[in-house]
Amino acid sequence: LYMYRAMQIGVVLLAAGTILGGVWADYSWGRFWGWDPKEVWALIALLLYLAVLHGRFSGWLRGFGFAATTVVSFLGVLMAWYGVNFVLGVGLHSYGFGSGGMGWVMSYVGIQVAFIILGYFNYQKAKANHSLDTAIFPKR
C-alpha cells in the first residue's frame, strides 16, 4: 500500500515537473513542446508509471508484479535524466552534451534485472513456505 501511495504522489510530481518544464520551454524557446529527447523521455517515464498505476488499480498487477514493474519503470527515469545527457548526447538542453554513458547505463540495467530476479526467487520461496506477510503484499 505504501509503494502504491508513493507512486501516486511521484506521478503527480513527475507530471507537474513535465508540465512546468514545458512552461519554462515556452518562456525560453517560444514553444511549449518541441519533441526534444529530454521532453520525450520525460513523457515516456510518466506514461510508464501511469501504466503501472493503471495495472495496480485494475487488479492486473499485485504483490511482486507491481513491485517488479515499479523497478523496471524507473529505467524510464534513468533514461530521461542520464541517458539523454550521456548516452544520446543530443538535445536543446545546455547540459545535453556528453558521451561514454552506455556502460554505466547498461551496468545499472543489469543490476536492476538481477535485483528483480533475486526478488522473484525470494518471493517464490516465501510463497512456498506460506510466510508472506499480508501487510507487505495486501490482497485486494
Annotated domain spans of the chain: 2-128
| pLDDT exceeds cutoff 80 at 1 | no
Confidence at residue 9, expressed as pLDDT on a 0 to 100 scale: 96
At residue 131 the predicted structure's pLDDT band, cuts being 50, 70 and 90, is low
Confidence at residue 135, expressed as pLDDT on a 0 to 100 scale: 46
| pLDDT exceeds cutoff 70 at 136 | no
At residue 90 the predicted structure's pLDDT band, cuts being 50, 70 and 90, is low
Q: pTM for the full model?
A: 0.77
Say how far residue 112 (Cα) sits from the centre of its chain.
12
The pLDDT tens digits of the residues spanning 41-89 come to: 999 999 999 999 999 999 999 888 898 999 899 988 888 888 787 777 6
- More reliable by pLDDT, 115 or 96: 115
